[in-house]
Structure 1
Amino acid sequence: MATTFQVTFDAADPRALGEFWCAVLGYVRDAPPEGFATWEEALTAWGLPEERWNDRNAVSDPDGVGPRIYLQKVPEPKSAKNRVHLDVNVSEGLRGAERAAKIRAEADRVSALGATLVTESSELGEFWVVMQDPEGNEFCLQ
């Protein structure tokens, strides 16, 4: 039996961080529950005060291949290095200079979305870039 899982992020702004990951990964925000045209309509119907509408968010791979990302609001900022991080493979099948160029181009693209480049690394013929999302969570482009 295959086990499914989601990746959960603590966030100061779940909606904005979800939009960032949608743009990076080609994901989409989860649709509102059946019977509701929008999340705002659903949250209003459930009686959730508007100031709590950004307490959580979820985004998913529209093809159903990648894991769902769940984002939950927390009051404290990130304070240490991640113990787990995402590796985003943007250079499948490429090697050498072509691979490095593809990864650097993707680093430029996600930087324009609000990410920060931390470092470029190479070892044993591999090349990757360590980045931080807009809330400081590390991830790698490989």
Structure 2
Amino acid sequence: MPAFDLHIVFDCADPDRVARFWMAALGGYDFPVGVPDGFATWDEWADANGIPVDQRNRGRTLVDTERGTRPDIFFLRVPESKQVKNRVHLDIKVAQGLSADDRRTAIEAEAGRLIELGGSVAERMEDDGFHLIMRDPEGNEFCLA
């Protein structure tokens, strides 16, 4: 069986806002580089191609610019809001190999940074080793461990 590429896709109301959160949360991701020749910005290109301002935030893409090995992440605008718990979520591993006290400190410090970016803590989990269930700016759950 052939190997397939993997892309992660988030449905959201504001692709630019959610993409910027995840870009800062994960590190090493950025928007694809490369405004088309002859244009200084993507907005200039959109103006030249008649794309209305209200249609310019229909989607965003993040690519791994640091390692080049992680999947692309897409953010697509959808009309409906998130209603229930995610069936798939991301785990961000920030404390691998640390002792219990150091682990908690590292996780809480990263949570503080993500809260400043617009995230929130949904739940603190103590039962199977400390980790946090968090939410991005639109309520998508992810774990910080």
Could you say whether these structures have the same fold, taking a TM-score greater than 0.5 normalized by the shorter chain as the test?
yes
Structure 2, unaligned runs of 5 or more: none
2:115 to 111, 126, 137: 111
1:128 to 128, 131, 139: 131
Q: Distance in 1 between matches of 2:41 and 2:121?
A: 35
Matching residue of 1:58: 61
Matching residue of 2:11: 10
Count of paired positions: 141
**Does 1:25 find its partner at 2:26?**
yes
Matching residue of 2:75: 71
Is the contact made by 2:36 and 2:45 (CA closer than 8 Å) also made in structure 1?
no
What is the RMSD computed on CA atoms of the aligned residues? Answer: 1.6
Kindly provide the CA deviation profile for residues 9-37 of structure 1, in whole angstroms up to 9, marking residues without a partner as x. 01111011111111111121122454244
Q: Distance in 2 between matches of 1:4 and 1:31?
A: 20
TM-score (norm 2): 0.88
Structure 1, unaligned runs of 5 or more: none
TM-score (norm 1): 0.90
Is the contact made by 2:121 and 2:135 (CA closer than 8 Å) also made in structure 1?
yes
How much has 1:68 moved relative to structure 2? 1.1
> SS of the residue aligned with 1:84?
coil
Q: Distance in 1 between matches of 2:99 and 2:45?
A: 48
Kindly provide the CA deviation profile for residues 74-129 of structure 1, in whole angstroms up to 9, marking residues without a partner as x. 111101110000001111221311111101111111011110101111334x3211
Moved over 3 A (4+): none
Q: Distance in 2 between matches of 1:3 and 1:34?
A: 28
Percent identity of paired positions between Structure 1 and Structure 2? 41
Q: Distance in 2 between matches of 1:133 and 1:83?
A: 15
Greater CA drift, 43-52 or 95-104: 43-52
